[in-house]
Chain A
Amino acid sequence: MPNKIELPPEEEYSFPEVPLTSASLISAGHHLGRQCDKANKEFMLCKAEEEDPRKCLREGKEVSRCAFAFFNQIRENCAESFTEYWTCVDNSQHDLYKCRKQQGVFDKCAFDKLGWVRPEMGDLNQVTVVKTERPKPVLDADVPTPEKSPKPQIPEDLKAPRLGSKVFFFS
């Protein structure tokens, strides 16, 4: 019973990636988690409920769109301080605590120009309840297992081999 892996049409999953390196992503992580909170949680809930990336492409696109808008806002307003911050993070093995000075400058810029507040510690890793309009999915039932083939009958007049087991030739 072959199950073909169905793929959605290509325009559903053709969306550009955020063209940034890991240091800049991780140094904007707190603000990104706060600003794109709704899209992120919607997407993660969809992934957890559907257990299928093909059904969460719309939500994933929303996440990417929000991230693009977020980084564009940073580029327009706080490009210099953010570049300094993520360069420092890049040069210090992605340890955010080593770059408190640049982080303060960037946070001040973000608060003054964009009104973004860095979330307090423990804000982002809390378990939250997400209100969504997506109906609760019904997962596909598993394919029923086929009937087992009957066991082979061992003939009763089976004699022991003359030279012992053939598996261990030395015994």
Chain B
Amino acid sequence: MAGAFYKQDMPPKGGYGPIDYKRMMPKRGPSGYVLFAGCIGVMAIGHVAFAYTNRQRKNRLYEQREAFFGIMPLLEAEWDRDTLKQLKHTQEQEAIIMKDVPDWVVGESVYHTKRWVRPRVEDLYFLANSKERREAMFGFNTFV
């Protein structure tokens, strides 16, 4: 009796279509391979530029150093003469100061050797006035 009034709901003929569960994103940007290739390319260019800059900087340093090599003997000769002048001045002052002390050896070396020992700046300028000494000791410092 009841079977005549309703119809059983059934799938359409041939079944339902596939459910659209996949994520549908618009395709954009380069692919992974392209990104890899791009990264490698950028790094390669960077390395080449780095090497180029390093070489340039090294050449500049070489140039500076060679210019200094050219004038170094001149500077060294002048420094040597300056040192001897200062030593002579110091010995003269020492002879004046210590003239009353018996058995005093003027210009006595504090080192136990006959060879030349380069005197320290403090030893050269300990009788000069304070401004001169300060300039000799700290004159080339650029920091405070």
Q: Which residues of A contact B (CB under 8 A)?
A: 1-5, 7-8, 10, 13-15, 17-18, 25-34, 36, 39-41, 43-44, 47, 51-54, 56-57, 59-61, 63-64, 67, 94-97, 119, 121-125, 139-143, 145
A sample of 8 cross-chain residue pairs with beta-carbon separation below 8 angstroms, ordered by A number, consists of A3-B112, A3-B114, A8-B84, A13-B84, A34-B70, A40-B74, A44-B72, A125-B66
- Which 4 pairs across A and B sit closest by C-beta, in order of nearness? A33-B70, A29-B67, A60-B77, A29-B70
A44 with B80, Cβ < 8 A, contacts A4-B107, A5-B107, A26-B67 known: no
A29 to B67, CA, bound (A): 4
Q: How many A-B residue pairs have CB under 8 A?
A: 146
Chain B residue contacts of A4, Cβ below 8 A: 105-109
* Cβ of B30 to closest chain A Cβ, rounded Å: 41
* Cβ of A3 to closest chain B Cβ, rounded Å: 4
Chain B residue contacts of A17, Cβ below 8 A: 78
- Say whether A13 contacts B74, CB under 8 Å: no
- Say whether B115 contacts A51, CB under 8 Å: yes
A97 to B109, CA, bound (A): 46
A63 to B78, CA, bound (A): 10
Instruction: Place the interface of chain B in its size category.
Output: 35 or more
A7 with B107, Cβ < 8 A, contacts A60-B80, A63-B77, A125-B66 known: yes
A47 with B88, Cβ < 8 A, contacts A26-B67, A60-B81, A121-B66 known: no
- Say whether A63 contacts B105, CB under 8 Å: no
Chain B residue contacts of A124, Cβ below 8 A: 66, 69-70
- Say whether A64 contacts B77, CB under 8 Å: yes
A121 to B61, CA, bound (A): 11
A42 nearest CB neighbor, chain B only: B73
Chain B residue contacts of A61, Cβ below 8 A: 77
Q: B126 an interface residue at 8 Å Cβ cutoff?
A: no
- Say whether B78 contacts A64, CB under 8 Å: yes
A165 to B75, CA, bound (A): 57
A121 with B62, Cβ < 8 A, contacts A10-B88, A29-B67, A60-B77 known: yes
Q: Which of B77-92 contact A (CB under 8 A)?
A: 77-78, 80-81, 83-85, 87-88, 91
A2 to B108, CA, bound (A): 6
Chain A residue contacts of B54, Cβ below 8 A: none
Contact among A2, A8, A31, A96 with B105 in the assembled complex (CB-CB below 8 Å): A2
Q: B59 an interface residue at 8 Å Cβ cutoff?
A: yes
Q: B13 an interface residue at 8 Å Cβ cutoff?
A: no
A39 to B72, CA, bound (A): 12
Q: B135 an interface residue at 8 Å Cβ cutoff?
A: no
* Cβ of B117 to closest chain A Cβ, rounded Å: 9
Chain A residue contacts of B65, Cβ below 8 A: 125
- Say whether A30 contacts B66, CB under 8 Å: yes
- Say whether B114 contacts A140, CB under 8 Å: yes
A33 with B69, Cβ < 8 A, contacts A4-B108, A60-B80 known: yes
